[in-house]
Amino acid sequence: MANSHQFLSRRLHSLLGLFPIGIYLIFHLLANHQATKGPEAFNQAVGLIESLPFLIVIEFVIIYIPLLFHAILGIYIAFQAKHNVGSFSYGRNQMFMWQRITGIITLIFIAWHVWETRIQFALGNKELNYQMMADILSNPAMVVFYTIGILSAVFHFSNGIWSFLVHWGITVGPRSQRLATYLTMGIFVVVSFIGLRAMAAFIQ
Amino acid sequence: MAEKVIHLIITRQDSPDSAPYKEEFKIPYRPNMNVISALMEIQRNPVNATGQHTSPITWESNCLEEVCGACSMVINGKPRQACTALIDKLEQPIRLEPMRTFPVQRDLSIDRSRMFDALKRVKAWIPIDGTHDLGPGPRMPEVERQWAYELSKCMTCGVCLEACPNVNDKTAFIGPFAISQVRLFNQHPTGQMNKHERLEALMEEGGIQECGNSQNCVQACPKGIPLTTSIAHMNKETTKHAIKKFFFS
């Protein structure tokens, strides 16, 4: 197995992107979407999550460890490519490039977002509730940053589903791969709508 | 009226280690020329566009009918065979460059031996030698033969490696063609008997996991080989092999 560790780590990278990270992203955006029903509904959703037993263990196993693995190997993969959309402007080559660009943007966004919310909460500087996000998004620059961050994360996730289907040999022929392109871009539109609508609910 | 000329801008390099430079040529037009016959014209009269005498261009070519793959080069930004690049169909000035994914030997001549090494690594052949007569091999279904024939058209020209963003000096990726060759030999009734060896070679460093699905290879392949279908198929086969190996051996 020694010489196939690269194979295994790349397969793991592909798997973790969807399970659990992708699932967590959907869950996170849906929980945020509660804010559209008012601050109380959002605070209630946050309270429900905080009441989970062994929450810190769940956070590490479901989020932090898979995300760190995916991010570190992802940086390596992203900077390995020599982009050539200038000579090969085909759709999938553009997606190949954007998958890497959005991956890096998402990583920067998530690092900032975790620092500003989860870590500040852990340090006891702030309370985790509707007001915390409303304060952050009272700055118009932050609204732009969050919009770019959410769109990048959702694109990376949606297009990542497409790659996952190829990497695991589920969509093999060109017809199924084309259908997967339409479906995953549909997912991008729907999930982006949920994410941005949730963000808008925090802007007062 | 001025005589019609063909304007060529060629990226040249005098030795494997020297710096590349561009040289322009203007050669008389004849109908039905291809890039090879234009290069032969320069060979006959090695004078550049400024009228200076220069060394003739070095390039490789053999079959002149797009089956050997030797004359692959980057023509107007796209890697392809010079023999089927017809002057009448190309936009001028015609820019010729070597495929830099490979070590350049001189001018447009490159060293594609890394492709041969990749074929050796994935054991892209069918072992049939024994110490005694093994008898006739198993028959192959006609439907399978038909698509296997498409895969067998690969001429190791290197265009898919040049088009691939993941084949570069930062990776060890063997390239799309080798993955497709594994699919070809692994479905052959006799080749199947050694399929695990080829699958394991694909899972080593620089193997199938380096593919990032930009799908340039299938667009660039001059023989229309369904490279991305082969890659996705081998993704499934290597994953199945890894799972079997982990749980059952």
Mutate to test the interface with A, among B173, B225, B230, B235 (most CBs of A within 10 A): B235
Q: Do B166 and A84 touch (CB under 8 A)?
A: no
Report the side by side order of strands in the sheet with B21-28.
B21-28, B5-12, B94-97, B72-75, B78-81
A203 at interface of B, judged by CB pairs closer than 8 A: no
Structural domain boundaries in chain A: 2-200
* Residues B8, B96 contacting (CB under 8 angstroms): yes
Give me the mean pLDDT over the B146-163 stretch: 97
In chain A, positions 26-85, which contact chain B (CB-CB < 8 Å)? 77, 79-84
CA distance B237 to B152: 19
Rounded to two decimals, the ipTM of the complex is 0.94
Instruction: Kindly list the residues of chain B whose beta carbon comes within 8 Å of any beta carbon in chain A.
Output: 77-78, 163, 165-166, 168, 170-171, 200, 203-205, 207-210, 212-216, 218-220, 226, 228-229, 231-240, 242
CATH superfamily for B5-110 is Beta-grasp domain (3.10.20.30)
Half-sphere exposure of A195 (CA within 13 A, CB side): 23
Give me the mean pLDDT over the A80-92 stretch: 96
CATH number belonging to domain A2-200? 1.20.1300.10
pLDDT at B203 over 70: yes
CA distance A99 to A156: 6
Q: Do B242 and A168 touch (CB under 8 A)?
A: no
User: With contacts defined as CB-CB under 8 Å, which chain A residues touch B235?
Assistant: 166-169
Q: Which of B168, B205, B232 sits opposite A3 (nearest CB)?
A: B205
CATH superfamily for B113-248 is Alpha-helical ferredoxin (1.10.1060.10)
Q: Do B170 and A173 touch (CB under 8 A)?
A: no
Bigger pLDDT: A33 vs A1: A33
B86 Cα to chain A: minimum distance (Å): 19
Give me the mean pLDDT over the A5-22 stretch: 96
* H or E element, residue B22: strand B21-28
CA distance B220 to B223: 9
Give me the mean pLDDT over the B155-175 stretch: 97
User: With contacts defined as CB-CB under 8 Å, which chain B residues touch A101?
Assistant: none
Q: Do A163 and B226 touch (CB under 8 A)?
A: no
Structural domain boundaries in chain B: 5-110, 113-248
Give pLDDT tens digits for B168-199. Answer: 999 999 999 999 999 999 999 999 999 999 99
A171 Cα to chain B: minimum distance (Å): 7
Mean pLDDT of chain B: 96
Q: What is the predicted pLDDT for the residue at A3?
A: 55
Q: Do B204 and A4 touch (CB under 8 A)?
A: yes
> At A1, is the pLDDT very low, low, confident or very high (cuts 50, 70, 90)?
very low
| Burial annotation A129-165 (CB, 10 A radius, 16+ → b, else e) | ebebbbebbeeeebbebbeebbbbbbbbbbbbbbbbb
- Enter the tokens of residue B197: 């060896």
Give pLDDT tens digits for A29-82. Answer: 999 999 999 999 999 999 999 999 999 999 999 999 999 999 999 999 999 999
Q: Which of B77, B207, B229 sits opposite A7 (nearest CB)?
A: B207
B46 phi/psi in degrees, rounded to 5? -75, 75
Peptide bond connecting B16 to the previous residue in cis, omega within 30 degrees of 0: no
Q: Which residues contact B129 (CB under 8 A, 6 or more apart)?
A: none
Mean pLDDT of chain A: 96
| Phi/psi-derived region of residue A133, left when phi > 0, alpha when psi is between -120 and 50, beta in every other case | alpha
Give me the mean pLDDT over the B62-71 stretch: 96
CA distance B83 to A159: 38
